[in-house]
Structure 1
Amino acid sequence: MTRDISRMPGRALRVPALVVAAALFLSGCAAAPSGDVSAPEATQSPAAAAETTPAAPSEAATPAPETQPPSGAGGVEVMPEGIEPTAVSIPAIDVEDTLIDLGIAADGRMEVPVDFDEIGWFTGGGKPGGRGPTVIAAHVDGLAGPAAFFRLDELAQGDVVAVTDAAGGVTNYEVTEVVTVEKADFPTARVFGAVPGDELRLITCGGYFDRDVGHYDKNVVVFATAVS
């Protein structure tokens, strides 16, 4: 990785190590076909490139924040836990697919989809219907060309993202903002930090693929808020 964000600003979701590992994943948005996430040779194609992810820091180094939902005292609304998402539909960019789980590998690195057309839900984050954000990520391209989130940067304010949960319910999220940011300026706390309501983040790589360093120079992030 070229950027050390092991000290996350702001309030993290659930276990800090999971959020850090997820953020570290963002420096490289394409995985080797075998699922190996070791550093590639500079001669590999953009789609085959993936960088070494440093191990997430221990909980002793990054104290766990308070992650319990509001108690309801004083009229504060208590958000439900939410239900695990199983599928996502984004009509504006012709995306509709089931979701795989993205957790943390044995070596402490963020799991990434092996198939470039797969879309993953970060299990260390939120769930639809509960406190957010729910974080969904996918590749921008693959060995054969465009991948699942190739057109993510085409989304605009007002577009709708529908997320289906394990109980068969559907939560509609309205896009509020789409940003393309330099990796060095990635808004980690804003993307992964806990929020009081039901929100969604969609993430992929963008910009220019720099063969000298082996990854794209930007990230595309979509922010959305539940409307139903």
Structure 2
Amino acid sequence: MADQKPSQPNPPRTAPGSGPVSRRLMWPAGAFLLGTLLVYNSIDTPDDPKSQQSGPAAVATAAPGGSARTALRSVPALSRSVPKRLAIPEIAVDAPFTPLSIGPSGQLNAPPGKDKNLVGWFQGGATPGERGASIVAGHVDTKTGPAVFMQLSMLKKGSKIDITRSDGVVATFQVDSVATFSKAQFPNDQVYADTPDAQLRVITCGGAYNKAAKDYEANVVVFAHLASSTRQ
């Protein structure tokens, strides 16, 4: 995923009002361009990853409620503060963050592939808890085996995600839905659209593993909103 150039499974397409974007989207106010597929596995992963789904179920569309919400929530958004640690007790995730940026290809660089227990966040977007959709990405596996988001697809509506920030605040997000999208038909607007409240998108690879491309054919996306915040 991080050791080789990401694969390019998506054909160029045009977003309304933006012109040809070729697997990119326009961030709010046109400030940033981000690759459609945030997470890749363009490395030699196991030939038969047993934990990944395959077939039609792996490319199902999101359930109702998975798209960006338009109504403001009662929990106020937080000020900007970089994330330090991610905890999802339900799937035994406890991992530090690393900042991610846009690479020369116009896509978001993946976290280093040699560290299985590391997650990344797009430092050009909203920080977790800040107003907007904060983007978090991580590997499902690496050359050496399962990685931090191997069980991400097991989350369900109501699951909790805790993010400790550098200002000492723990932002708790509640999952609204979990969806698996084909990389060939990834819904930019649904995943990356600006939001009027503090939301979170957690993304990893999913679906069937394409041995020829050495990449997964889908992305798992968790949609969540800020439910509460506490100071350590």
Q: Same fold (TM over 0.5)?
A: yes
Structure 1: runs of 5 or more not aligned: 33-43, 48-77
Aligned length: 185
Alignment correspondent of 2:9: 2
1:207 is aligned to 2:207: yes
Aligned residue runs from structure 1 range 24-173, under 5 A? 24-26=37-39, 29-30=40-41, 32=43, 44-45=44-45, 81-106=79-104, 108-114=106-112, 115-117=114-116, 118-173=118-173
Structure 2 portions without partners, runs of 5+ = 1-7, 18-24, 48-75
Contact 1:5 1:24 in 2 (8 A): no
Q: Percent identity?
A: 33
Give, as a single letter, the amino acid of the residue that structure 1 aligns with 2:82. Answer: E
Match of 1:226 in 2: 226
Q: Pairwise CA RMSD of aligned residues?
A: 2.7
| Distance in structure 2 (CA, Å) of the matches to 1:186 and 1:125 | 19
What per-residue deviation string (whole Å, max 9, x for no partner) do you get for residues 140-191 of structure 1?
0011110110000010111100111110101100001000121122121121
- Pick the structure with more strand per residue: 2
Distance 1:154 1:4, change over 3 A: same
Tell me if structure 1 keeps the 8 A contact 2:34–2:107.
no
Distance 1:18 1:215 in 2: 26
Letter in 2 for 1:83: S
> What TM-score, normalized by structure 2, do the two folds share?
0.70
Taking a change above 3 Å as real, the CA distance of residues 191 and 5 of structure 1, as seen in their structure-2 partners, is farther
Contact preservation (8 Å) 2:11, 2:184:
no
Q: Larger relative contact order (C-alpha < 8 A, sep ≥ 6)?
A: 2
Distance 1:8 1:163, change over 3 A: farther
More helix as a share of residues: 1
State whether residues 179 and 220 of structure 2, in contact with CA within 8 Å, keep that contact through their aligned partners in structure 1: yes
TM-score normalised to structure 1 length? 0.72
Cα distance in 1 for partners of 2:221, 2:87 equals: 17
Give me the whole-angstrom Cα distance separating, in 2, the residues matched to 1:141 and 1:9.
Answer: 35
String of CA shifts for 1:206-226, please: whole Å, max 9, x gaps: 111112233111110000011
Q: 2:208–2:217: 8 Å Cα contact kept in structure 1?
A: yes
